[in-house]
A and B are shown apart, each in its own frame.
Chain A
Amino acid sequence: MNPVLLSMKNISKSFPGVKALSNVDLELKHGEVLALVGENGAGKSTMMKILNGIYTKDEGEILLEGKEVNIENINQAQELGISIIHQELNLMRDLTVAENIFIGREPRSAFNFFLKDRELNKKTADLFKRLNIELDPHTKVADLTIAKQQMVEIAKALSFNSKIIIMDEPTTALTETEIDSLFVTIESLRADGVGVIYISHRMDELKRITDRITVMRDGTYIDTLVTKDTEMSKIIQLMVGRQVYIESKPTSINENQETILRLENVSTKDHLKNVSFELKKGEILGFAGLMGAGRTEVARAIFGADKIESGSIFLNDQEVKIKSPKQAVEMGIGYVSEDRKHLGLLIDMDVKTNMAMATIKNFTKGNFVVSQKEMEKVAEKYVDELKIKTPSVHQKIRNLSGGNQQKVVIAKWLLRNCDILIFDEPTRGIDVGAKGEIYKLIDELADSGMAVIMISSELPEVLRMSHRVIVMSEGRITGELTSAEATQEKIMEYATAVN
């Protein structure tokens, strides 16, 4: 067995009013990939921020290769060889790749004030050569894909000669092939004896890449298990402390259901090429494909956010021209965006206002004065129905967990009496327990006759939810599978199909 690289013992940390961590242990070995799992709020991030010098611990000790260390700031952590790759990529988009990697460590000349950019770019090129990364140091980060940006972050971490690399949800924005290449990188880190702490909600990834799994819940240490000897359902159970809804779905819908939406040869200026499909009432239609395949663009075209160049859209067998999201909403189409914090919710306003946002007119007297009481009544009904966990409908959205925020967005659209609801990455950034609840909710919506389009980059999610799966590649539909036919391999085959 490899020697111990890092051990954190009895770590405790309090913030005003909250005990974030109490007596948490963590042990990482040389060349090990350790998963750190737990629901949102379990204390994973706090633990990692302590290790990285962003927070200081109240109690406990940190031993690095057997020696006690005191990590007081980020620079110290970096010098000790501890790097973190944050979930929300922490890059300066307007700076070049090289400038990002060596930020704070720029080669300098006179008075330590002037930059030596030629040396900077050379150092970066050397680093890339050593790591086998093909990137131009001069490229602006804003011009890179998310996957390439992540490679920049990894290269940055490795440029410190890091012994420990923390990856916080590294795959949320990656497609399957990009994930594969990330795992190749992780394997080579492992071979070099680097310890990786891997935070993720995706059980299939943990199974593939990690050696051991440490589970946390409510700021406490629960258990550490060897991955290959452990059932994933056991892990989920430890994380949430209760049984989770994982029951598999009905595989077909009633054939007699009528078609509510039909697209015929829809093309847009830059993205879509001759997209045609049908959607039935009560159906969950999954959209799979790599990033940039055009899935979100289909949703945008239906929702009137992008202009359609040719082709037609039929609603209930009648051709419609949808020119704006406002029109789409009036026709009974709802869109739950992948970026709920920016596009779906007013983060600093309360639950009831957010729910009423799309239907505010219904809550007004004389179209002007908003009736708080009416809003409250309706909001309470939905909080109850959707089992939204919130102390009251007056709670600010900011204070809700990701899963409950998503439910508020769904309630907003239910209030509008939508017939068609489009979900774009419905469970991004939502933890496992809450995912199950969102799945259940979407199932129930479909059962009650709602037509659902679900775009997702998580294949298990697509397989778990969809009655039918449409696969896209480069703006075209390359395959259509019934839920009985659909497998991860088949979807990937279509998704990587070249025209």
Chain B
Amino acid sequence: MNIDTVVNEEKKKLGNSRIPSGAIQQILAFASLIALIIFFSLASGSFLQYSNIIGILLSTAVIGILALGATFVIITGGIDLSVGTVMTLSSVMIGVIVVDGGMPIWVGIVGGILTGALCGLLSGFAIAKLNIPPFIATLAMMMIAKGLALVISSAAPIYFSDHPSFTKISLGSITPGIEVPNAILIFFIMAIIGGIILSKTILGRYNFAIGSNEEATKLSGVNVNFWKMSIYTLAGAFTGVAGVLMAARLNSAQPALGQGYELEAIAAVVIGGTSLSGGKGTIVGTVIGALIMSVLTNGLRIMSIPQEWQTVVVGLVIILAVYADTLRKKD
């Protein structure tokens, strides 16, 4: 038996083992995350300090929740370019309801989340019922939300100075013992909810089915349009939650902020192993992807690498992550 046959035999064994193909990508992403953490903690003593870790998690929260929503959409084989500005519209809506309208804060929060869900529903309607490609429909929604956010706020930031408790939603802490900001807690709770929806419910099942083969799903008698709209609405609701956290953290609603977040969210999803062609993806992967993005940005900053270069590195990491995925598929 020569080396080649031995290698081939080994490969066969690996191929036959029962590791689901998606899991390999996840393990790969997780290993990269650990490698990054080890690298940065060796490079800089301050990286592993408690305050820095909290800082990393805090900056993951908003992008992470956007990415959770985007995961659902991307698994259908679609894309949502509107999550950045819809998040802004949601937080401005809270300002309008609470500050301008004088309503209680909880009404504002519910209103903010519903605004996100409504935007998602409209995108979903355009995609499912009007047959507009997701890229175009959500590009339009991105512009509509951006414009509306400026209109309803008269293009000026709205401050929650008279509502000191609002900011606690993001920066306060309810965990006994150690101080973990609520935003981080909310991110992980949203991830758990997202994970359950994706793997344990009918919506998650049809999400994968549509992404895998939409025509076949339709021919199996599944109301594809309804489920597509539901999925975009759900993603919109996640976006709304991100809007609440964003407003609470800044203690203000900034109508000009938010554009560009959608791309970071999509990047996190892709790094986490979700396929842009649909049918494959996990919530755990997205959480890891979002963490990789913020660990990378944070670590590079600590090493005093200029922000311009940080962006370049993130771009390269995206290429690397997707290339690893294509390599794996070839085999």
CB within 8 Å of B: which residues of A? 54, 73-75, 78, 86, 90-95, 99, 103-104, 106, 108, 112-115, 117, 140, 270
B280 engages A94 (CB within 8 Å): yes
Q: 10 more A-B contacts (CB under 8 A) besides A54-B219, A93-B279, A270-B8?
A: A78-B221, A86-B219, A90-B215, A92-B217, A92-B279, A94-B212, A94-B280, A103-B222, A104-B220, A104-B221
Q: Roughly how many angstroms separate A78 CA and B92 CA in the complex, as a whole number? A: 49
Interchain nearest-CB distance for B25 vs A (Å): 13
Pick the contact of A74: B203, B209, B212, B219 (CB < 8 A): B219
A74 engages B220 (CB within 8 Å): yes
Q: Roughly how many angstroms separate A73 CA and B219 CA in the complex, as a whole number? A: 10
A91 engages B222 (CB within 8 Å): no
Interchain nearest-CB distance for B200 vs A (Å): 6
A92 engages B208 (CB within 8 Å): yes
Pick the contact of A75: B20, B203, B221, B279 (CB < 8 A): B221
Closest 4 CB pairs of A and B: A94-B279, A90-B216, A92-B212, A94-B212
A90 engages B213 (CB within 8 Å): yes
Interchain nearest-CB distance for B222 vs A (Å): 5
B209 engages A103 (CB within 8 Å): yes
Q: Roughly how many angstroms separate A54 CA and B219 CA in the complex, as a whole number? A: 8
Chain A residues near B161: list those with CB within 8 A.
none
A94 engages B201 (CB within 8 Å): no
Name 27 A/B residue pairs within 8 A (Cβ), A-sorted.
A74-B219, A74-B220, A75-B221, A86-B219, A90-B216, A90-B219, A90-B220, A92-B208, A92-B212, A94-B211, A94-B279, A94-B280, A95-B209, A99-B209, A103-B205, A103-B209, A103-B217, A103-B222, A104-B220, A106-B205, A108-B202, A113-B201, A113-B203, A115-B202, A115-B204, A140-B20, A270-B8
Q: Roughly how many angstroms separate A91 CA and B211 CA in the complex, as a whole number? A: 12
B163-181 near A? 1/0 per residue, CB < 8 Å? 0000000000000000000
Interchain nearest-CB distance for B44 vs A (Å): 41
Size bracket of the B interface: 20 to 34
Chain A residues near B219: list those with CB within 8 A.
54, 74, 86, 90
B220 engages A103 (CB within 8 Å): yes
Chain B residues near A106: list those with CB within 8 A.
202, 205
- Taking A92-B209, A94-B208, A94-B280 as contacts, is the C-beta distance between A115 and B201 under 8 angstroms? yes
Interchain nearest-CB distance for B196 vs A (Å): 9
Pick the contact of B213: A78, A91, A113, A117 (CB < 8 A): A91
Q: Roughly how many angstroms separate A113 CA and B251 CA in the complex, as a whole number? A: 37
- Taking A108-B202, A114-B200, A115-B202 as contacts, is the C-beta distance between A74 and B213 under 8 angstroms? no
Interchain nearest-CB distance for A30 vs B (Å): 25
Q: Roughly how many angstroms separate A99 CA and B204 CA in the complex, as a whole number? A: 12
Q: Roughly how many angstroms separate A117 CA and B202 CA in the complex, as a whole number? A: 10
Chain A residues near B205: list those with CB within 8 A.
95, 99, 103, 106, 115
Q: Roughly how many angstroms separate A103 CA and B227 CA in the complex, as a whole number? A: 13
Chain A residues near B202: list those with CB within 8 A.
106, 108, 112-115
Interchain nearest-CB distance for B327 vs A (Å): 16
Chain A residues near B211: list those with CB within 8 A.
94
Chain B residues near A104: list those with CB within 8 A.
220-222
- Quick one: which of B179-221 are within 8 Å of A by CB? 200-205, 208-209, 211-213, 215-217, 219-221
When C-beta atoms are compared, the residue in chain B nearest to A91 turns out to be: B216
Chain B residues near A91: list those with CB within 8 A.
213, 216
Q: Roughly how many angstroms separate A54 CA and B220 CA in the complex, as a whole number? A: 11
- Quick one: which of B8-31 are within 8 Å of A by CB? 8, 20
Q: Roughly how many angstroms separate A106 CA and B227 CA in the complex, as a whole number? A: 15
Chain B residues near A117: list those with CB within 8 A.
200
Chain B residues near A103: list those with CB within 8 A.
205, 209, 217, 220, 222
Chain B residues near A75: list those with CB within 8 A.
221
Interchain nearest-CB distance for A277 vs B (Å): 24
Interchain nearest-CB distance for B118 vs A (Å): 21
Q: Roughly how many angstroms separate A91 CA and B279 CA in the complex, as a whole number? A: 12
Interchain nearest-CB distance for B28 vs A (Å): 19
Interchain nearest-CB distance for A364 vs B (Å): 33
Q: Roughly how many angstroms separate A73 CA and B224 CA in the complex, as a whole number? A: 14
Q: Roughly how many angstroms separate A78 CA and B222 CA in the complex, as a whole number? A: 12
Interchain nearest-CB distance for A219 vs B (Å): 23
Q: Roughly how many angstroms separate A166 CA and B298 CA in the complex, as a whole number? A: 60
Chain B residues near A90: list those with CB within 8 A.
213, 215-216, 219-220
Q: Roughly how many angstroms separate A54 CA and B279 CA in the complex, as a whole number? A: 25
Pick the contact of A114: B201, B208, B280 (CB < 8 A): B201
Chain A residues near B213: list those with CB within 8 A.
90-93
A73 engages B208 (CB within 8 Å): no
Chain A residues near B280: list those with CB within 8 A.
94
Q: Roughly how many angstroms separate A94 CA and B274 CA in the complex, as a whole number? A: 12
When C-beta atoms are compared, the residue in chain B nearest to A52 turns out to be: B219
When C-beta atoms are compared, the residue in chain B nearest to A76 turns out to be: B221
Interchain nearest-CB distance for A127 vs B (Å): 16
Chain A residues near B221: list those with CB within 8 A.
73-75, 78, 104
Q: Roughly how many angstroms separate A117 CA and B208 CA in the complex, as a whole number? A: 15
Interchain nearest-CB distance for A431 vs B (Å): 23
Q: Roughly how many angstroms separate A113 CA and B217 CA in the complex, as a whole number? A: 18
Q: Roughly how many angstroms separate A73 CA and B204 CA in the complex, as a whole number? A: 24
